[in-house]
């Protein structure tokens, strides 16, 4: 890791763990503090007033980040015939049927998204124990079981990400790279928060969005002033 400059050390020393930051101020601070040689991911964490052990308090869905994710998204598609040809043309990294199933059963799971046409679910269903724990199981509610594989691949490659609340009522996600402009990151932040707000489940009681923080891969977590966040 690169050494921090005097300016970075002084800034880090002044960080107040209890301070509430505006989104732009937090992003500027993370950029100024970064001293590593790789392009860090900017991460958001949201504490929600839900208990996901109850079905009516689950928060899950998809959101398209307008500035993209900054990463190369690897997509596998279960399809045959014309749909397989369309998937390859749309940029899928791997397309197949039984052969792809066997490949995944052998442990080859280096994918960020798995998509399937509806007629392939008989095959995909056998991979539940393999794909489920990794959050890769195709799901019609999330648009990853679809006859329109071209659009699903375009969405996955273009910045669409899945979000899902964890047991403690927290949602974590990357929302771009630190090298993005402040405006690009702010647009992604706004889109992500808006999606979470719109996904508020019927069983949520009391305050829904309780805390929001931003961090980078190697940087500190900065608490966000939610009074400045639209819709919260």
Same domain, 91 and 52: no
CA distance 140 to 1: 43
Structural tokens at position 184: 């690009």
Helices and strands (H, E) in the chain, number of each type: 8, 10
* 52: exposed, middle or buried (Cβ count in 10 Å: 0-12, 13-18, 19+): buried
pLDDT for 167 equals 85
Q: What is the pTM of this model?
A: 0.84
Tell whether 58 is covered by a domain.
yes
Same domain, 64 and 80: no
Which residue, among 29, 33, 46, has the nearest Cα to 182 in the 3D structure? Answer: 29
Which residues face 215 on adjacent strands?
43
Same domain, 196 and 220: yes
Our count of domains for the chain comes to 2
Pick from 131, 151, 171: which residue ends a domain?
Answer: 151
Pick from 123, 151, 179: which residue ends a domain?
Answer: 151
pLDDT for 3 equals 61
CA distance 169 to 107: 31
Tell whether 6 is covered by a domain.
no
Same domain, 95 and 63: no
pLDDT for 27 equals 95
Tell whether 11 is covered by a domain.
no
Q: Supply the CATH number for residue 81's domain.
A: 3.40.50.790
pLDDT for 4 equals 60
Same domain, 195 and 167: yes
Tell whether 5 is covered by a domain.
no
Tell whether 118 is covered by a domain.
yes
In order along its 232 residues, the chain shows pLDDT tens digits of: 456 666 566 666 667 777 899 999 999 999 988 878 889 999 999 999 999 999 999 999 999 999 999 989 999 999 999 999 999 999 999 999 999 999 999 999 999 999 999 999 999 999 999 999 998 999 999 999 999 999 999 999 999 999 999 989 999 999 999 999 999 999 999 999 999 999 999 998 889 999 999 999 888 899 999 987 877 7
CA distance 25 to 143: 35
Pick from 113, 128, 151: which residue ends a domain?
Answer: 151
Same domain, 84 and 146: yes
Instruction: Give the structural domain span for 203.
Output: 16-68+161-228
pLDDT for 15 equals 72
Same domain, 165 and 224: yes
């Amino acid at each position: 890791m690169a050494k921090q400059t005097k300016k970075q050390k002084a800034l880090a020393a002044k960080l107040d763990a209890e301070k509430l930051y505006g989104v732009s101020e937090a992003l500027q601070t993370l950029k100024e503090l970064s001293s590593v040689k790789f392009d860090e991911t900017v991460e958001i964490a949201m504490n929600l007033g839900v208990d996901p052990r109850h079905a009516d308090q689950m928060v899950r869905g998809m959101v398209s980040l307008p500035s993209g994710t900054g990463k190369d998204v690897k997509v596998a598609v279960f399809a045959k015939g014309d749909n397989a040809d369309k998937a390859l043309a749309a940029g899928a990294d791997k397309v197949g049927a039984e052969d792809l199933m066997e490949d995944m059963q052998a442990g080859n799971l280096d994918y960020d998204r798995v998509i399937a046409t509806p007629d392939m679910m008989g095959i995909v269903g056998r991979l539940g124990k393999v794909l489920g724990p990794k959050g890769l199981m195709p799901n019609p509610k999330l648009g990853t079981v679809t006859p329109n594989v071209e659009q699903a691949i375009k969405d996955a490659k273009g910045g669409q990400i899945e979000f899902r609340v964890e047991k403690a009522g927290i949602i974590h996600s990357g929302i771009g790279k630190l090298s993005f402009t402040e405006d690009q990151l702010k647009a992604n932040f706004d889109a992500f928060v808006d999606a979470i707000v719109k996904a508020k489940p019927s069983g949520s009681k009391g305050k829904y969005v309780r805390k929001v923080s931003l961090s980078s891969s190697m940087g500190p977590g900065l608490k966000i002033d939610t009074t400045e966040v639209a819709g919260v």
